[in-house]
Structure 1
Amino acid sequence: MKKSIAMIIGMVFLTATTSFADSTVSGKVINKAEIKKSANIAIGEKSTANMGSIKMKDSQVSGKVINKADIKKSANIAIGEKSTANMGTITMKDSNVSGKVINKAEVQKSANIAFGKEAKANMATITMKDSNVSGKLINKADIKKSANIAIGEKSTANMGTVTAKGANISGKVINKAEVKKSANIALGQNATANMATITMKDSNVSGKVINKAEIDKSANIAAGNNAEASMGSVTME
């Protein structure tokens, strides 16, 4: 297997990723990514690095949204003031899905790192903001011997999580996270580190909210003035 390195400066770079904005899809959206011994790097003030992910913005989907990512011995890095590094994730903003949203991510011996003032590092997660889903929301994360690190004043590190803000979900929300020999670290003034959690704020769910976490020999660390670390928990505000 050849090693591959991809780098781009000052813009977004996508490795085995489906990304769309202002779009309408009648049917399934499926991204299947198998990534080994690779590096995806974005450098710039507003850089974003996406590896094995689906990213939606201002879009409508009538059908299932499925992301299946198998990532081994790889690195996804974003460096910049507003950098975001997404590895094996589904990210939705101002979007509507009529169907199930499923993320299945297997991450082994890999690193997802974001450096920057407002850096965010997401590994094997579903993140929703101001979006609606009519169907189940399922995240299945299998993470082994990996590191997810966010460094910056407002850094957030999410590993094996579901995060929803201003969202409406008509169906079950299920997070199943198995984390072994891994580290999730957020460093910064308002750092937040979430491992195998469901976090919901200003959101509505018509159905069960289920979090199943199996964590073994792993570390979840938040360091900063108002730092908060959550492991294997459900938080609703």
Structure 2
Amino acid sequence: MEENKRETALVTGASRGIGRAVALELARSGYHVVVNYRSSEAKADETVSLIEAEGGSAEKLCFNVADASESRRCVENVIARRPSLDVLVNNAGITADNLFLMMPEEDWNAVIATTLNGFFNVTQPAIKAMMKARRGSVVSMSSLSALVGNRGQTNYSAAKAGLIAASKALASEVARLGIRINVVAPGLIRTDMTQNIPQEQIRERIPMRRVGEPEEVAKVVRFLCSADASYMTGQVISVNGGMF
């Protein structure tokens, strides 16, 4: 398929981990994937190379989702260059764990700015384009932490829970326009962000007794973006091995 005829998917934080797996999975489904990154250019290049090695189409795009004006400019640039913006995956996020009473204000603000403000900064211009086309899919990456709350993650839990609430509200606003808004909430997934967690101890809390893989999350995202999920919106899908 010619690159300029492919539908377009923008995946934030796609240079590694779950974001990279999502980018690869969407590329395999035929999308031209815009691989967003903030600082890991070499990793973003790797993601693009992996997609192209499989015959897919991709490009890298550097911007910080926490920066409202930069995000809007870059998303609008994608919209202007591509025939359409069909899929947005809000995956970018950071952690800055600490007990609440010891948490610096800047750590609280940084996590909220990237995860929750980033949702607004990127999704608003994307939704405007989808409204004109009267179709589109937005999937945002929440977390098990949003559903059960993890000790030492008040900022992360708050941001990820905010994504769920915002997505449900937005879904009700744009459903009649053919736009679907859904959320995926992973549990413990094998990524760089979780490599320092004592996984042997946590495995005992997981009914499936194993850590999840990024590809297992990516396949759920791909489903939610596809026509197979055409009657699903405002939903939160947990991918966590049975943790509650």
TM-score range (shorter-chain normalised) is: 0.3 to 0.5
Which one scores higher on RCO, CA 8 angstroms, separation ≥ 6?
2
Structure with more of its chain in strand, by fraction: 1
Structure with more of its chain in helix, by fraction: 2
Larger Rg: 2
Please, what TM-score do these two structures have when normalized by structure 2? 0.32
